[in-house]
Structure 1
Amino acid sequence: MTDPSDPDLPRGLALAWGVAATPQRGPKREMSVERIVEAAVELADAEGLAAVSMAAVAARLGYTPMSLYRYVTAKDDLILLMQEEATGLPTDQTREGDWRRRLETIYREQVQLYLQHPWVLDVPISGTPVTPNGAAWMDAGLAALTETVLTHDERLAVILLVTGQSRWTGMVMAGYARSMRERGVSDAEVTAEEDALFRLLISPDAYPDLRAAIDAGVFLEEGDPFSFGLARVLDGVDAYLARAADGARDAPRPWVTSDDADIAEDKSYRAAVKAVREAERSLRDARKQARQAARAARDRLR
């Protein structure tokens, strides 16, 4: 029986970690796993993931497909190695600043990677790839939250929020970039076209709120809605950190129980609950100011 704590490493992962045996004989010295992956990435960058095949990569290198199979035995392994190469490593900037600044840096760097290699977004998600670069990104995200009061599973959940936001942003931005490139139009032209279409097709009777947004010029705004969304997500994490530091987390508040349902509408009771909530809000604001003051003090000491 196979010990689950010591699994057989798939060929693709063994190659990614540099522990796979290399062929004893091959076409020429120029051939290597690294060169094959580099050629495959170049092909995907130029023509998309669908253009990548063992035959196409071999032709790009000037070899036969059988020559590649001595090094990479399956296309799935090649895709894994391509994703690992394109993902790269987080920069040192992801280790600088407070937890929020570091997560924002991770977000921006991942979005940029998706824009540089949009085909990565077409790779099916079949689990968390346990590769060196993939692990490095996770480690950088978890390191950003190490000094917080979050538990390990809470830290991982926050990382999933940030990486999910970066992937969604990358999907939209890469899609627009591809469309503009294929049509030969500018960002301003696309914005004007979309606004004109919405104004033509959306009536105030059928879609009153959407039409109001259109009339307000929402589709002509130059702001970044994705960064705004990330900021609000991190605001939520910040608020949760304040509660967690106070021992509250998401547990029910002791002063509100199911037994209070019969007095929920009592004016005095509602006023008392409101006062407690305002006090909690003031406490969170005070804690936030204290953290900001502490960061400023540390910056002055550097």
Structure 2
Amino acid sequence: MTDVPEPELPRGIALAWGVAANPQRGPKREMSVERIVEAAVEIADADGLGAVSMAAVAARLGFTPMSLYRYVTAKDDLVLLMQEEATGLPSEEATSAGGWREQLTALYNEQVQMYLRHPWVLDIPISGSPVTPNSAAWMDAGLRALAETELTYEERLAVVLMVTGTSRWTGTVLAGYARTERERGIRGHDITVQEDALFRALISADGYPELRAAIEAGVFLDESDPFLFNLERSLDGVAAYIDRVTSEGRGPRSPWARLDDSEIMDDKKFREAQKAVRAAEKTLRDARKLERQAARIAHEHRARQRGDA
């Protein structure tokens, strides 16, 4: 592994981690990064992301826009911090909800609820993984749920991305229906009844035989959760894959095994070596957990010192 110089943190990322320099002048008690972000989130919750501007936030706080720039120098940074605030942290209930499958399902449900509380988050363009504390905590929680499985880190991350992608799509659809309910003043059930009526009026058995059969079966009036069904079937596949890897091993994927030499997978010493590797990986995960806890404590200590200064 080559040495990579430590990158210079963008202002928004530094603010999210609490390592950006504080302004030397300006209103101190009435103004803070936290208060600015809180006001921006309140505006977005009420009127959408498009209503958020430095001028609108300043007006809400009773200051001039220029005073905000002492704390948050760009709107992109503000949006990043808003997303971080809205994302929050996974609950203790979710991260201790049983086995890996129950934990991932709980994380999915909490993410969907976050999108319903703050639908404007869905309007923020995806330009990569947000390297912020709360976003990292969600990713860490998903990986931790899978830590005791036979999945590699790459496979665990792929499963976490599947869960977060499913939650985002679910949030997009449900937030859209919730917006329709608010704007039209009707209940969700009434919307589905209207949709069913439109499909029945427009979809013929001659032109769309399978879709018409589904309509006649009442598919658009069914109250089951299709999004949760998708997640559960995806997790079924993950569970089956874990079972296969656990029972059969990775076979040819091992650098010591040839395509025509599976006997090595049954060798006692080889199995013991694999067990030792898994134990070492667990020790490393525990050490990294302690490292993160120490970093968080140090961060909180520095924050208190800055507050006392």
TM-score (norm. length: structure 2):
0.79
* TM-superposition CA deviations, 1:164-187 (whole Å, max 9, x none): 000000000000000110000111
Residue in structure 1 matched with residue 299 of structure 2 by the alignment: none
Report matched runs for 1:22-171 at 5 Å: 22-96=22-96, 97-171=98-172
Aligned length: 250
CA distance in 2, matches of 1:162, 1:98: 15
Q: Say whether the 8 Å CA contact 1:240–1:249 is kept in structure 2.
A: no
**Runs of 4+ displaced beyond 4 Å:** 248-252
1:188 to partner: Cα distance: 1.5
The 2-side partners of 1:248 and 1:228 are apart by: 29
Secondary structure (helix, strand or coil) at the match of 2:248 reads: coil
Work out whether residues 23 and 71 of structure 2, in 8 Å CA contact, stay in contact via their aligned partners in 1. Answer: yes
Q: 1:251 to 1:124 in 2, by over 3 A?
A: farther
* One-letter amino acid of the structure 2 residue matched with residue 9 of structure 1: L
- CA drift of 1:95 comes to 2.1
What is the CA deviation profile of residues 224-251 of structure 1, one whole-angstrom value per residue up to 9, with x for unaligned ones?
1111111000000000001111235597
Query: Given residue 35 of structure 2, which amino acid in structure 1 is its aligned partner?
Result: R
Once the 2 structures are TM-superposed, how far is the Cα of residue 152 of structure 1 from its aligned partner?
0.3
- Measured after TM superposition, the shift of residue 118 of structure 1 is 0.3
CA distance in 2, matches of 1:204, 1:65: 60
Structure 2: 5+ residue runs without aligned partners? 254-309
What do residues 37-91 of structure 1 show as CA deviations (whole Å, max 9, x unaligned)?
Answer: 0000000000000111101111111111000000000000000000000000000
Aligned partners of 1:107, 1:191: CA distance in 2, in Å?
24
CA contact (8 A) 1:49 1:122 kept: yes
Distance 1:229 1:95 in 2: 21
1:213-252 maps to which residues of 2 (within 5 A)?
213-248=214-249
Give the deviation of 1:5 after TM superposition. 3.2
Q: Do the aligned partners of residues 251 and 171 (structure 1) sit closer, same or farther apart at CA in structure 2, a change above 3 Å counting?
A: farther
Report Cα offsets for 1:140-159 as digits up to 9, x if no partner. 00000000000000000000
Kindly provide the amino acid, as one letter, of the partner of residue 238 in structure 2. Answer: V
- Comparing 200-209 with 89-98, greater Cα deviation is found at 89-98
- State the alpha-carbon separation in 2 of the partners of residues 236 and 192 from structure 1: 34
Q: Alpha carbons of 1:249 and 1:187: their partners in 2 closer, same or farther (altered >3 Å)?
A: farther
Letter in 2 for 1:176: Y
1:125 positional shift: 0.4
The CA RMSD measured in Å over matched residues stands at: 1.4
- The AA in structure 2 aligned to 1:34 is E
Equivalent position SS for 1:24: coil
Q: How many Å separate the matches in 2 of 1:99 and 1:5?
A: 36
Does 1:174 find its partner at 2:175?
Answer: yes
Equivalent AA in structure 1 for residue 126 of structure 2: I
Aligned to 1:20: 20
Aligned partner letter, 1:134: S
For residues 227 and 183 of structure 1, what CA distance do their matches in structure 2 show? 27
For structure 1, list consecutive stretches of 5 or more residues without a partner in the other structure: 253-302
Provide the C-alpha distance between the structure 1 equivalents of 2:195 and 2:252, rounded to a whole number of angstroms.
45
Identity %: 72
Q: Specify the alignment match of 1:274 in structure 2.
A: none
User: Is the 8 Å Cα contact of residues 95 and 107 (structure 2) preserved in structure 1?
Assistant: no
Rounded Cα–Cα distance in structure 1 between residues aligned with 2:20 and 2:168: 30
